[in-house]
Structure 1
Amino acid sequence: MPFAPEDDCFAIRQAARHVSQLYDRHLANVGLTITQFSIMGRIRRAGRLTMKQLADEMVLQRTSLVRAIQPLRRDGLVFTDSLEPEQRALVLGLTKDGEERILAARQHWSAAQDEFEQRFGLARAAALRRELLALTQE
């Protein structure tokens, strides 16, 4: 079935994959994916988050979040701790190595942002961000 130009879902998903590849290419310099960068950035801003809080913030199913966190734990960038001994809730935090990695990754994230804005245009990029954020606020 050929692509229909009025297919919003296809167009949005195709654009998302294209932009994700650009950011992933830059973040590969520090061994992170955009999902890992986003996870670590949210944890860094909050200090600590439960798995549920992080899943809710990122609009991810917890099983997907667990799969994304496993390599971060394995590489010593993120730690998990129990909220309380009798509770099953896990709290996530960044290790010292995780703090260093996210700081190093910021320059590559900025380079990806700059590349996107150069290709797409500053004004169009800002307008696109506003529209996409408005869409997710509904």
Structure 2
Amino acid sequence: MDHLKRCNCNHCRYNNPMPAPKLTLPAPGLLAPKGCSSLKLRQLSRRVSQLFDAEVGSAGLKTTQYSLLSHVVRLGPVRPGQLAAVLEMDASTLTRNLQPLIAQGWVQIGPGDDARSRQVQATSAGRTKQAQARKAWQRAQQEFIERMGAERVARLHAVIDECLGLLQETVDADE
């Protein structure tokens, strides 16, 4: 049975007109994956984002903005390329995501070490906003841990880190 016959998600049906390569099934007794991994990860990500956005929103930020602002506070001043690499996003996405933070006066982009480079850094208002939002993020993190259980969250983090490492190996091999 090919992957498309087992998975009815829109991603697999519409983005994959040709049958997927035959999947390697796990050893007997182990669970076999069901459904589209991309869809399942996106569903989980949306649910977790809803939980965090509800708390972090009370500080006037989206969770994605809080994460970006926190990285700028921690790393800044930082070159945009370095920041994008740490966040694992492309430069155009970073530029687009920085715009609301710049408009609010929480982040600024200034000259770098030479005429061709730029530096991203948090303003004093940005550092204040990040500290305020950190309290809301901590409440969201605590609620997530309470709902999921500390052991499950630790296992989830370990699996995510392992997967990121394996996928990075694929990216490195392609370059």
- Normalised TM-score (structure 1): 0.91
Structure 1 runs (4+) deviating above 6 angstroms are none
Q: Quick check: 1:48 aligned with 2:63?
A: no
Q: Of the two, which has the highest radius of gyration?
A: 2
| Structure 2 counterparts to residues 12-91 of structure 1, below 5 A | 12-84=41-113, 86-87=115-116, 89-91=117-119
Q: Is it true that 1:96 corresponds to 2:124 in the alignment? A: yes
Q: Aligned to 1:41, what secondary structure does the other structure show?
A: helix
* Alpha-carbon separation, structure 2, partners of 1:120 and 1:72: 31
Partner of 1:123: 151
1:42-70 CA distance string (max 9 Å, x none): 11112311111111111111111111111
Give the fraction of aligned pairs with identical amino acids, expressed as a percent: 28
Kept after mapping to 1: 8 A contact 2:110/2:119: yes
The amino acid across from 1:14 in the alignment is Q
- Identify the structure with bigger relative contact order (alpha carbons < 8 Å, sequence gap 6+): 1
Give the C-alpha shift of residue 84 in structure 1: 4.0
1:109 aligns with 2:141: no
User: Could you state the TM-score of these two structures normalised by the residue count of structure 2?
Assistant: 0.73
In structure 2, stretches of 5+ residues that fail to align are 1-6, 10-32, 167-175
Structure with greater helix share of residues:
1
Find the aligned partners of 2:115 and 2:74 in 1 and give their Cα distance.
Answer: 27
Q: Secondary structure at the match of 1:49?
A: coil
- Total equivalences in the alignment: 137
